[in-house]
Amino acid sequence: MDYQEAFLQTPLGTAAIKGHARGLVSITVVDADAAAAPSATIPAALAVAAEQLQEYFAGERTTFQLRLDFRGTAFQQRVWQALLDIPFGKTCSYLELARKLGDVKAIRAVAAANGQNPFWIVVPCHRIVGSDGSLTGYAGGLWRKKWLLEHENPYKQQLLF
């Protein structure tokens, strides 16, 4: 299967969108030293994803309607599907997610699957935090996780003076 790829500039770096006519296979963030220039034209199969990501960063979108071509083990796919149930502006702990999946002993496996999520932002692995609410583990860097959670926070801190 031939894949198409596009690069989109975001406030958090360059997003690499990869997919084909049946759906997306990945959306990743690329660090500045490895980033390609933003695509001058976006292939038709990726245009909706690029548009929805731009809307998300503009504060105009809280959910995504994209065809995702999940590739992973059955367990990973269960974890990624469960991540889709975490609402915009909310967080969940690794322990809570393991509990929702029916096995609190699987917390490490849940964390590992979370870290292998191929769909940056769209499958919101950034909404998973430590049991104490701390920002833990994020493949894109904790500074990006913090930014995303603040971006999704409905209660923005207002300047007092």
User: How is residue 29 written in tokens?
Assistant: 């963030």
For the question of residue 92 being annotated catalytic, the response is no
End-to-end CA distance of the chain: 57
> By CB neighbour count within 10 A (0-12 exposed, 13-18 middle, 19+ buried), where does 95 fall?
middle
Q: Are 46 and 39 in contact (CB under 8 A)?
A: no
Q: How far apart are CA 24 and CA 6, in angstroms?
A: 11
Give the C-alpha distances (Å, rounded to integers) separating 38 from 15, 30, 44, 106, 144.
Answer: 9, 11, 16, 39, 19
Candidate list 101, 125, 129, 148, residue with the active-site label: 125
Q: Which residues are catalytic?
A: 125
